[in-house]
Amino acid sequence: MKNKYVLMSGLLGIVLVGLVGGKQALADDTLNGNTAISAEVTAGDVTLDVDKNIDFGKKALADIVDFGSQDIGYTVTDYSGTTDGYSISAKLTDKDETRTVKLGDTVLSTDAAVVVKPTSNKVGENKDKVKAALSYEGVTSVKKFTSTIEWTLTKGRTEQIGE
C-alpha cells in the first residue's frame, strides 16, 4: 500500500506540474511594447538688458564741457528661433538744448533712432557694447546733470515688419 501512495503521489505531482507548466506556456505574455513620446520646441523670449548707470565723472565749468566717451554694454538674449538680426533704437526722455549725447555715430534726441543693427545673431546671449559720448555747450550753472536713455529692441525681418 505504501507503494500505491508513493505512485499516486508521484502521478498527482506530475499532473500538477503539467497543469502549472501548461498554464505558463499558454499564458498571453507581452514581451515587448511601444511608448510614443513627443516634445515641441516653441519660440522663446527675446530680451534686452543694458547697463543701468554710466557715470561720466566730473569736469570744470567751461564754454564746452566734453565728458568724452564710455561704452554702454548690452545683451540681447534671443530664443525666438530666428537669427536674422535685430535693431536697437534709443532716445532721450528729456530735452536739454545744452546737451549732446551720441551713441555710436547717432546723435540722440527725444525721437527714437536706430543705434545698433546687426544683420545676424546667435541663439542665446548676444553681448556687445555701443560707444556713448557726452558733452555740454553753453552751460552757465554748476550742478549734476542727469539724463535717461530709453532703449527699444526690435526683432524680425523687414518683410515681417511691413506686413
Residue 7 lies in a domain: no
Split at pLDDT 50, 70, 90, the class of 5 is low
Split at pLDDT 50, 70, 90, the class of 144 is very high
Where residue 93 sits, what CATH number does that domain have?
Answer: 2.60.40.1090
Residue 129 lies in a domain: yes
- Helices and strands in the chain: count of H runs, count of E runs: 2, 8
Confidence (pTM): 0.72
Residue 132 lies in a domain: yes
Q: DSSP string spanning 31-47?
A: ---------------EE
pLDDT digits (tens, 9 = 90+) for 94-106: 999 999 999 999 9
Residue 22 lies in a domain: no
Residue 155 lies in a domain: yes
Alpha carbon dihedral 107, 112, 115, 120, in 10-degree steps, equals -170
Position 65: which residue type? Answer: V
Residue 143 lies in a domain: yes
Residue 10 lies in a domain: no
- Element holding 21 (H helix, E strand): helix 2-26
33-45 mean pLDDT? 87
| Domains identified in the chain, total number | 1
Split at pLDDT 50, 70, 90, the class of 163 is very low
Residue 127 lies in a domain: yes
Give the domain range for residue 154: 46-162
